[in-house]
Amino acid sequence: GAGVSQSPRYKVAKRGQDVALRCDPISGHVSLFWYQQALGQGPEFLTYFQNEAQLDKSGLPSDRFFAERPEGSVSTLKIQRTQQEDSAVYLCASSPAYTYEQYFGPGTRLTVT
Amino acid sequence: KQEVTQIPAALSVPEGENLVLNCSFTDSAIYNLQWFRQDPGKGLTSLLLIQSSQREQTSGRLNASLDKSSGRSTLYIAASQPGDSATYLCAVRPNSGNTPLVFGKGTRLSVIA
């Protein structure tokens, strides 16, 4: 079946612009995670949803980062007033309720110039 | 705070060699440990998941071991092939339930034909 999809795959933004990154999880997966992966680093946790509830947003680096999942399916990660340090790959993962194994999407590579 | 370290950061081997990738974590109270593969520009593919009660898991030419008390895991790749070239990431789940993964920085593997 279809895996986790993310769009756009690549995004170039000028410093100060707002961006929105989309994640389509595997159908039926209740949990959804966002991670940020800087060049040469491992992914780092940003935020986590169970259905439409955002249960943990402790990893969001600043109040410029905002995530939502209004209907418990598709999620959007929004970054306001982008800065150069926001340049990274943003990974989305979903998991079913029973195994907790996370399935990752291909990521969105954000470059802020 | 849980920290995951992977050694070496990069490894280059000739085709056919057996090799070992190392992962260590600072807090032994983990729920499970997972090894992922990441190809350039792609998302993460899960290779092996070891529950905290298990000592090892095998899939084809891959074998992962876990020594929870000493905070170590190894990924053994037998008879390496050029197609194994990728970055290998180790991640631990600190608690039971659907919690965020804590990743190492990865080992970049090149298998030379």
- Give tens-digit pLDDT for B35-55: 999 998 888 999 999 999 999
What is the rounded end-to-end Cα distance, in angstroms, of chain A? 37
pLDDT of residue A1: 56
Q: Which of B48, B74, B71, B69 is nearest to B2 (CA)?
A: B71
**DSSP 8-state code for residue A26:** P
pLDDT of residue B74: 98
For residue B98, name the pLDDT band (cuts at 50, 70, 90). confident
Is B47 touching A (CB cutoff 8 A)? Answer: no
Nearest to B89 among A42, A45, A105 (CB): A42
pLDDT of residue B96: 74
**DSSP 8-state code for residue A25:** P
For chain A, percent of residues with pLDDT exceeding 70? 99
For chain A, percent of residues with pLDDT exceeding 90? 91
Yes or no, beta carbons of A56 and B101 under 8 Å apart: no
Q: Which of B31, B23, B26, B2 is nearest to B107 (CA)?
A: B23
Is A50 touching B (CB cutoff 8 A)? Answer: yes
Q: Which of B40, B39, B33 is nearest to B91 (CA)?
A: B33
Q: CA of A79 to nearest chain B CA: how many angstroms apart?
A: 21
Is A8 touching B (CB cutoff 8 A)? Answer: no
On whether the CB atoms of residues B61 and B76 are closer than 8 A, the answer is: no
Q: Which residues of A touch B46 (CB under 8 A)?
A: 101-104
pLDDT of residue B3: 95
Q: CA of A16 to nearest chain B CA: how many angstroms apart?
A: 25
Task: Please check the confidence at residue A88 and state whether its pLDDT lies above 80.
Answer: yes
pLDDT of residue B99: 83
Yes or no, beta carbons of B98 and A44 under 8 Å apart: no
Angstrom distance (rounded) from CA A35 to CA A53: 17
For chain B, percent of residues with pLDDT exceeding 70? 100
On whether the CB atoms of residues A22 and A29 are closer than 8 A, the answer is: no
